[in-house]
Amino acid sequence: MKKLNRKGFTLIELLAVIVILAIVLVVTIPSVLTTMNDARDKNLQNAADTVAEWFTKQYELAVLGSDLGSGNVSTAYTTFGLTATQKPLTKEVLIAAGIADADTNLDLTEPKSIVVLNGTKVCVKLTAKSGGSFYNNDTTKYDNCKVSSGCPSTVTCG
């Protein structure tokens, strides 16, 4: 009887590998999704803090005079006219502050995304738009809204 030189895997071996890969996927997918949602939540908080810092910098430049500061006061800031009253944020201001694609990622309607001057601090509230890069589908854990530091207790996401 001739010995056959069989190369390859048996059906049982292939099924065992598929079952092992399926188990690995079932274990890792929830943790990957949680990590992605946490990253989106932190990105929204960073965006709110970035816009608040941008307003603070522009305000300081306006007070010092643009010729004394390290840069010119942004035209987005001067046309926005930051005052002590609550104002809705505009796409132009968010883009000037470094938030790309603000109109597709953030809900810019008042009171969902606003800026308020709180004494000497700037308070920014941002709300993620459904389908945007900041939005989390898990609304039981994430509220898709963040406020910057320095906000009064009246500015909340609730």
- 2: pLDDT strictly greater than 70: no
> With left for phi above 0 and alpha for psi between -120 and 50, is residue 94 left, alpha or beta?
alpha
Going by pLDDT thresholds of 50, 70 and 90, the confidence category of residue 68 is low
pLDDT at residue 70 in the model: 57
Mean pLDDT on 109-128: 86
pLDDT at residue 85 in the model: 75
Mean pLDDT on 115-140: 87
Mean pLDDT on 97-113: 87
Condensed to tens digits (0 to 9), the pLDDT of residues 50-64 reads 999 998 888 878 777
Condensed to tens digits (0 to 9), the pLDDT of residues 12-35 reads 999 999 999 999 999 999 999 999
- 41: pLDDT strictly greater than 90: yes
Structure-token pair, residue 58? 């522009």
| Separation CA 84–CA 60 (nearest Å) | 15
Alpha helices by DSSP H, listed for the chain, are 11-64, 75-80, 91-96, 102-105
* 140 against 118, higher pLDDT: 140
